[in-house]
Amino acid sequence: MKIFLDTADVAEIREYAASGLVDGVTTNPSLAAKTGKDYVESLKEICALVPGPISAEVLATDFDGMMAQAKIFQKIAPNIAIKVPLTWDGLKACRALTDGGAQVNVTLCFSAVQAMMAAKAGAAFISPFIGRLDDIGEDGMTLIRDIRAIYDNYGFKTEVLAASIRSVSHVLHCALAGADVATIPTAIFKKLLDHTLTDKGLAAFIADAKKANVTIKG
């Protein structure tokens, strides 16, 4: 499963991209607002830090506006993926942009039928929001499994990009469900390697070596 960072914070991306474990980045208007920086300028910096797809989300809600903003994003770098909302205009823009060779991420997906329609519009990525479904008492993971089944039934090439991830357990269950990508807030990304037995085991190895004066000489 590919791991994307779900943030527009350039400093955070710089820090974690250095691990070599970040395959891409997703941003959205709310994440851009949090940075207090110019969205296009941030995207330029992010595209230079991470070679994988960087999702840049349009603010327009009509077809012409989305196409105009997509053009601005496309000038930034070749690894930009245009993010459009799952609406009639969004899917129309998805088809037009895809036909023109762009990668499109269709966002704000809350049903498997919506995901099927985005795939028919040629989306490179579909972004189902797990956490927001859990928030209203539904099961976000069921949506991931349903989309996986539909895409596999018909051979849709659209990648399932699980979004609105709130826990390490979400990441685990996305991988088990066959999501192609999970986009993860940095607070969760940091926790992916955590295990108390890893910490305890490492401390014991170091202490034992110190006690017995074990060294590694070149």
Q: Which residues are catalytic?
A: 83
Can you say whether the dihedral through the CA atoms of 36, 109, 92, 76 is positive or negative? positive
**Residue 55: CB minimum distance to ligand G3P, A:** 8
- What are the backbone dihedrals phi and psi of residue 6, each rounded to the nearest 5 degrees, phi first? -105, 80
- Which residue, 144, 104, 101, 140, is CA-closest to 121? 104
Name the pairing type of β-strands 54-57 and 125-128.
Answer: unpaired
Site for ligand G3P in 4-23 (CB under 6 A): 6
Q: Is 42 in the site for ligand G3P (CB under 6 A)?
A: no
**Residue 179: CB minimum distance to ligand G3P, A:** 13
Q: Which is nearer to ligand G3P, 50 or 163 (CB)?
A: 163
Give the binding range for ligand G3P (CB under 6 A) out of 70-78, 87-95, 125-133, 167-175: 125-133
Give the binding range for ligand G3P (CB under 6 A) out of 92-100, 129-137, 147-155, 187-195: 129-137
What are the b/e assignments for 146-174, b being 16+ CB within 10 Å?
Answer: bbbebbeeeebebbbbbbbbbeeebbebb
Give the contact letters, 144-163, x = binds to ligand G3P (CB under 6 A), - = no. -------------------x
- Which residue, 105, 104, 36, 40, is CA-closest to 77? 40
**Residue 103: CB minimum distance to ligand G3P, A:** 16
> Which residues lie near ligand G3P (CB under 6 A)?
6, 26, 28, 129, 131-132, 163-164, 183
